[in-house]
Structure 1
Amino acid sequence: MAGKAKESAVDLAKFIDKGVRVKLAGGREVQGILKGYDQLLNLVIDEAVEYLRDPEDPLTVTDETRSLGLLVCRGTAVMLVAPSAGMEEIANPFLQAKDGEQAAEGDDE
């Protein structure tokens, strides 16, 4: 058992040399081409682009970007890794339900 290498819980081999979107601790999001990773989930991303947050609402990511180039992400900061191909934004169904509830409550008064 002592000679066994620690294996990662996530297999990112299928994403090598493909576009990925990475969410980091603290709310930052980057997109680029995954060039490498290790068992601690440290990532090397080429042609990295950061999606900036809205200054008025820090929880909202805008379409505004800045180029970072080659990026090394420490594994402890990586929260999510997803393929960028086929990624699209959808409306929040819970937000719509909440608005409908407020409208229904307002009708009673």
Structure 2
Amino acid sequence: MSGRKETVLDLAKFVDKGVQVKLTGGRQVTGTLKGYDQLLNLVLDEAVEFLRDHDDPLKTTDQTRRLGLIVCRGTAVMLVSPTDGTEEIANPFVQPEAV
């Protein structure tokens, strides 16, 4: 066994591609992944933050805020996913409301 630690994620395939990052505390950011390290610190270019709803802080709105070039600290990163090839679908488990 080597003394070198490796991350579970292989982020090399996402470099220079669009990614969506969810952070602890509910913040959500999209941008172009420019770099990363073994601690999952991410460098995103052309980053855009999706603002949260004032009534329900766990929900994001369609309002955005341009951030530009940012560094996401690895300890705050919860999820990294590509933006290409993903789309939001309706929740199939939600019961229709009775009228």
Would the TM-score normalized by the shorter structure come out above 0.5?
yes
Aligned mates of 1:19, 1:49 — CA distance in 2? 11
Alignment length (residue pairs) = 99
Counterpart residue number, 1:82: 81
Shift of the alpha carbon at 1:39? 0.8
Runs of 5+ in structure 2 lacking a partner?
none
Q: Deviations over 1:9-36 (max 9, x none)?
A: 1110000000000000011000000001
Structure 2 residue matching 1:51: 3-state secondary structure = strand
Choose between structure 1 and 2: higher strand proportion.
2
Runs of 5+ in structure 1 lacking a partner?
none
CA RMSD of aligned residues (A): 1.6
Aligned mates of 2:13, 2:92 — CA distance in 1? 31
TM-score when normalising by structure 1: 0.83
Structure 1 runs of 4+ aligned residues shifted over 3 Å read none
Matched, 1:33 2:32: yes
Aligned mates of 1:46, 1:5 — CA distance in 2? 29
Structure 1 residue matching 2:93: 3-state secondary structure = helix
Aligned mates of 2:32, 2:93 — CA distance in 1? 32
Aligned mates of 1:17, 1:24 — CA distance in 2? 20
Greater Rg over alpha carbons, structure: 1
Counterpart residue number, 1:68: 67
Shift of the alpha carbon at 1:73? 0.6
Aligned mates of 1:62, 1:50 — CA distance in 2? 10
Choose between structure 1 and 2: higher helix proportion.
1
Aligned mates of 2:93, 2:24 — CA distance in 1? 24
Structure 2 residue matching 1:13: 3-state secondary structure = helix
Matched, 1:48 2:47: yes
TM-score when normalising by structure 2: 0.91
Counterpart residue number, 1:91: 90
